[in-house]
Amino acid sequence: MVRLRFAPSPTGYLHVGGLRTALFCWLYARKNGGKFIFRLEDTDQKRIFEGAENQLTSMLEWSGIEIDEGPQYGGIHGPYRQSERLDIYAQYIRLLLDEGNAYRCFCTSERLEKLRNEQRKKGNTPRYDGFCRNLTKSEASRRAESGEDYVVRMKIPEVPETMVLNDLIRGIVSIETSQSEDQVIVKSDGFPTYHLAVVIDDYLMKITHVVRGEEWIPSFPKHLLLYRYFGWDPPQFAHLPLILNPDRSKLSKRQGDVAVEDFRNNGFLPESLVNFVAMLGWSPGEDKELFTLPELIREFSFERVNKSGAVFDQEKLNWMNQQYIQKLELDDLQQRLNPFINKTPYAGKDQKILRKIIKILQPRLVTLSEIRNRLSLFFENNPEASDPEVLKVLREENSKQVLANFIKQVESVEKLTKDNLGDLMKNVQNETKIKGKNLWMPLRYAITLDSEGPDLNLIVDLFGKERCLHLARSALKF
């Protein structure tokens, strides 16, 4: 059975890159009837961000990714927080020390600092020089027992070797062990570092496929060595391509909001965010862009993930979100909009009226949060026009003629609905000799106050004679 894990460190929010890793793991697990495991890699106690674990899991849940095993979900391979696995690591650390595959290092930070500076001065990459590598075991034990601070380092073979990885995305990747130094695997606070904990946990949790960002490629020789030292078969690996800004720089927090929570708060649907994120590096074999989760599960494979970086295209995400909003059932859309409406002055308005308004707005909404700026048109007596394009058009002489004539026409009829709007506008056209875009645009702008506003027929129907007259009169004054 395949078992894949998402193993974030609780150092911050769930980033779109993390969402993609989790999604690919989950899709692959679901496709193959396997399990998706959430493991918290919290061995770096200094970088823990309060509440991060809940943040991470709740954003996965919001995205529709179900966790089968994890800290709050149970499972027989726990505990799933690394900070609760120190006893387990201790056994393996002892084993590495006993078998001479790791050693205690007592070098002080001053010595290491000095070493690094000297190496840099000579133009070399700073790396540990193996000073404590040849301490006898009894000498090292004595110093440790006497209370001296130490870390544990793994041994990189003295005779350089080429480590080869058959990556599911990249194929064969080879790296020389000589590029790694004797990596610290246990810090002076007794916590293992990522490299040791990840290998032990992936093995003990029976992980079959390790999926992570390509920034971890340089680490695999160390990991493969640890698997060898323990006598374990390594899992399969898939290193995902970077996510890039349109200028091809690495997507990072500094360049705008990339936390999943921000996308949610900005009114993106989980369906569209997940669909969009799936396309960051993966592409289906066909010319299709919109995929539901079940479709993604069916189609997903690592073979179709690219090696090269994937550009994050916000316009594409906006387009997808609009597509998904258009497809929602009206009731569903209304429910999803309610939390956004509740943050406006129109919270508590009659749900039936809101429903009619939402129906009119649905084809145009790009994000749920846009509803905030769209409601004043329906509820304010004198809604304000802020769209510069609208103001420009309404200030034109031609527009004023159209609106004045429209007012005259509407005053002469009993009711204004979508059914007689066309005839009335024909009259306006005949009397003003203005037609086409120049005829309709002023009216549309006067009534919707928005250059990308909702369908004019629907809105005229909802507003009726008095409100349309009022809006047309107001527009004359702009």
Question: Residue 212: which of 34, 83, 41 has the closest Cα?
Answer: 41
Our CB check for ligand GLU shows the closer of 8 and 454 to be 8
Pairwise CA distance, residues 322 & 222, whole Å? 46
Q: Is 253 a catalytic residue?
A: yes
Interaction of residue 201 with ligand GLU, rule CB under 6 A = no
Count the residues of the shown chain that bind ligand GLU, applying the rule CB under 6 A.
Answer: 8
Our CB check for ligand GLU shows the closer of 7 and 105 to be 7
Interaction of residue 7 with ligand GLU, rule CB under 6 A = yes
Q: Which of 2, 3, 8, 447 binds ligand GLU (CB under 6 A)?
A: 8
Region of 3-11, 134-142, 338-346, 408-416 interacting with ligand GLU (CB under 6 A): 3-11
Interaction of residue 259 with ligand GLU, rule CB under 6 A = no
Region of 5-13, 109-117, 152-160, 462-470 interacting with ligand GLU (CB under 6 A): 5-13
Query: Helices (DSSP H) in 32-99: which residue ranges?
Result: 52-63, 86-98
In the complex, minimum distance from the CB of residue 246 to ligand GLU, in angstroms, rounded to a whole number: 24
Interaction of residue 274 with ligand GLU, rule CB under 6 A = no
Pairwise CA distance, residues 4 & 354, whole Å? 44
Region of 6-14, 120-128, 157-165, 267-275 interacting with ligand GLU (CB under 6 A): 6-14
Question: Residue 432: which of 445, 443, 419 has the closest Cα?
Answer: 443
Contact yes or no for 153/186 (Cβ under 8 A)? no
Q: Which of 3, 9, 199, 410 binds ligand GLU (CB under 6 A)?
A: 9
Question: Pattern of binders to ligand GLU over 202-231, x per CB under 6 A?
Answer: ----------x---x---------------
In the complex, minimum distance from the CB of residue 331 to ligand GLU, in angstroms, rounded to a whole number: 39
In the complex, minimum distance from the CB of residue 202 to ligand GLU, in angstroms, rounded to a whole number: 8
Catalytic residue among 253, 307, 392, 426: 253
Our CB check for ligand GLU shows the closer of 212 and 374 to be 212
Q: Which of 41, 42, 53, 69 binds ligand GLU (CB under 6 A)?
A: 41
- Which pair of tokens denotes residue 316? 């594409």
Rg for the chain, CA atoms, rounded: 31
DSSP state of 259: B
Give me the half-sphere count of Cα atoms (radius 13 Å) on the Cβ side of residue 111.
Answer: 10
Pairwise CA distance, residues 152 & 185, whole Å? 6
Residue for token pair 């009619």:
356
Region of 1-9, 44-52, 321-329, 355-363 interacting with ligand GLU (CB under 6 A): 1-9
In the complex, minimum distance from the CB of residue 234 to ligand GLU, in angstroms, rounded to a whole number: 12
Our CB check for ligand GLU shows the closer of 18 and 453 to be 18
Our CB check for ligand GLU shows the closer of 185 and 402 to be 185
Our CB check for ligand GLU shows the closer of 10 and 453 to be 10
Question: Residue 301: which of 60, 2, 83 has the closest Cα?
Answer: 2
Question: What sign for the dihedral angle of Cα 282, 242, 1, 27?
Answer: negative
Judged by phi (left if over 0) then psi (alpha if -120 to 50, else beta), residue 475 lies in alpha
Region of 7-15, 93-101, 130-138, 380-388 interacting with ligand GLU (CB under 6 A): 7-15
Question: Residue 303: which of 24, 14, 12 has the closest Cα?
Answer: 24
Angstrom CA distances, 175 to 35, 111, 217, stand at 31, 29, 9
Spatial neighbors of 364 by CB under 8 A, at least 6 apart, are: 452, 453, 454
Within residues 175-194, the interface with ligand GLU by CB under 6 A covers: 194
Our CB check for ligand GLU shows the closer of 240 and 416 to be 240
Pairwise CA distance, residues 42 & 71, whole Å? 12
Our CB check for ligand GLU shows the closer of 30 and 209 to be 209
Tell me the one-letter amino acid at 347: A
- Which pair of tokens denotes residue 26? 């989950």
Question: Residue 261: which of 14, 467, 3 has the closest Cα?
Answer: 14
Within residues 352-411, the interface with ligand GLU by CB under 6 A covers: none
DSSP state of 219: G
Pairwise CA distance, residues 20 & 9, whole Å? 15
Interaction of residue 198 with ligand GLU, rule CB under 6 A = yes
In the complex, minimum distance from the CB of residue 223 to ligand GLU, in angstroms, rounded to a whole number: 9
Question: Pattern of binders to ligand GLU over 137-176, x per CB under 6 A?
Answer: ----------------------------------------
Judged by phi (left if over 0) then psi (alpha if -120 to 50, else beta), residue 231 lies in left
Contact yes or no for 275/290 (Cβ under 8 A)? yes
Our CB check for ligand GLU shows the closer of 2 and 434 to be 2
Pairwise CA distance, residues 215 & 361, whole Å? 43
Residues that bind ligand GLU (CB under 6 A): 7-9, 41, 194, 198, 212, 216
What amino acid positions are annotated as catalytic residues? Answer: 253
